[in-house]
Chains A and B, each alone.
Chain A
Amino acid sequence: AQKITQTQPGMFVQEKEAVTLDCTYDTSDPSYGLFWYKQPSSGEMIFLIYQGSYDQQNATEGRYSLNFQKARKSANLVISASQLGDSAMYFCAMRELYSGGGADGLTFGKGTHLIIQP
């Protein structure tokens, strides 16, 4: 079973509108972290925001916020007031403290291609 699921392969959004990118995760580890990365067409991976499994409040970083619903195992990224420069691939990822006996490192979803239209 996939550990990170991003159900939106692509999205078109009008400039200045808010955007929600969906991410659901699967883990039995009580301690984990959830990450969102942006990958523009140039290819680099840019860290956007982080949420820890024990964090009581949703994480925010400027125009980015993470809507963390632990019981539903969802960690959606919200971008307020979208800009043309937000057009990129967006990846949700998870690190588990105990890794379920598996490898360390991040487990990534397949990504969402976001296109902001003027």
Chain B
Amino acid sequence: DADVTQTPRNRITKTGKRIMLECSQTKGHDRMYWYRQDPGLGLRLIYYSFDVKDINKGEISDGYSVSRQAQAKFSLSLESAIPNQTALYFCATSDSGQGVLGEAFFGQGTRLTVV
């Protein structure tokens, strides 16, 4: 089983619909992240969380919200999906005890298409 699991893996949704992407991890890491990947732009940070009560905006948080339900679970929501949110979404974790050493472990990605 993967250490960082994202569900669903693929999703097609309609404009205006609410959608939630879920992430769970078994690594015991305290920090969790949501990234978005668009072709030619690399990955960009949407939100990150240091622990259950500490959630922070990243570079491109507009149009998104998150919930850290437990140390192991971090969900990303699109309240009203729009076509330019079509992208590949990644969840990642790291261990703050490692400082900058804590490599980010990535989920398999969720391919979201908004039509």
User: Contact: A103 with B58, CB < 8 Å?
Assistant: yes
User: Contact: B41 with A110, CB < 8 Å?
Assistant: yes
User: Contact: A50 with B42, CB < 8 Å?
Assistant: no
Give Cα A11 to B105, complex, Å: 26
User: Contact: A45 with B59, CB < 8 Å?
Assistant: no
| A37 proximity list for chain B (CB < 8 A) | 106
User: Contact: B43 with A104, CB < 8 Å?
Assistant: no
B48 within 8 A of A: yes
User: Contact: B106 with A103, CB < 8 Å?
Assistant: no
A18 within 8 A of B: no
User: Contact: A45 with B106, CB < 8 Å?
Assistant: yes
User: Contact: A43 with B43, CB < 8 Å?
Assistant: no
User: Contact: A103 with B59, CB < 8 Å?
Assistant: yes
Comparing B16-24, B78-86, B96-104, the segment that makes contact with chain A is B96-104
Chain A: minimal CB distance from B39 (Å): 10
Chain A: minimal CB distance from B99 (Å): 6
Q: Which residue of B lies closest to A49 (CB)?
A: B103
Q: Which residue of A lies closest to B45 (CB)?
A: A105
Chain A: minimal CB distance from B82 (Å): 22
Which of B43, B88, B102 has the most C-beta atoms of chain A within 10 angstroms of its own C-beta?
B43
Which residues of A come within 8 Å of B, CB atoms? 4, 31-33, 35, 37, 43-45, 47, 50, 52-53, 91, 93, 95-97, 103-111
Complex A-B: 18 CB contacts under 8 Å:
A4-B42, A31-B100, A33-B100, A45-B109, A47-B103, A50-B103, A93-B104, A95-B100, A97-B99, A103-B48, A103-B56, A103-B57, A104-B31, A104-B33, A105-B45, A107-B45, A110-B41, A111-B42
